[in-house]
Amino acid sequence: MHIRRLVSIVTSIILLDQATKALVMKQMSEGESIPIIDDLLSLTFVFNPGAAFGFLSSASEEFRIPFFFLISLVAMAVVLFIYFKGARENLLLQIGLSMVLGGAAGNLIDRILFKKVIDFIDVYYKHFHWPAFNVADSAITIGVFILIVDMVLTGRREKSEAG
């Protein structure tokens, strides 16, 4: 059952991520911004050659592309190892790891196809902008949050059982 959960979550995230990116690329031109909620949210089509917050975006392609490809593969392998090693009876851990894996795979697909990641969700207040992100980034963030909640709950459970 837990393998089906992994496959269904990862597949759903990849499909939603790639579908939204394809729609943005088809309907918008790079740099175009469509306000959704004034002074808060826009759809803004950008290519991000780096990682979160533009990390390594100015590094040479010869370094950046293999680096992010390798980091993505290692991260995905670690997530799968943890999933199969320790998530068998832990639903929160299964969901969190599956979301991280799906998000990592979604962005890796972009790096393979375009050598950059497509971002389009632009959250801001007046002139203060959070870096644009996408569905894959959202899945990773939510997955990490779930993993943190699981660690806190597991720690509390172990503490109450010990004391």
> Which residues participate in catalysis according to the annotation?
119, 137
Q: How many beta carbons lie within 10 A of that of residue 48, not counting itself?
A: 21
Amino acid in position 13? I
Beta strands, E only, 19-146: 33-37, 41-48, 117-125, 128-129
Residue 134 near residue 117, CB atoms below 8 Å: yes
Q: What are the residue ranges of helices labelled H in 29-129? A: 61-86, 91-114
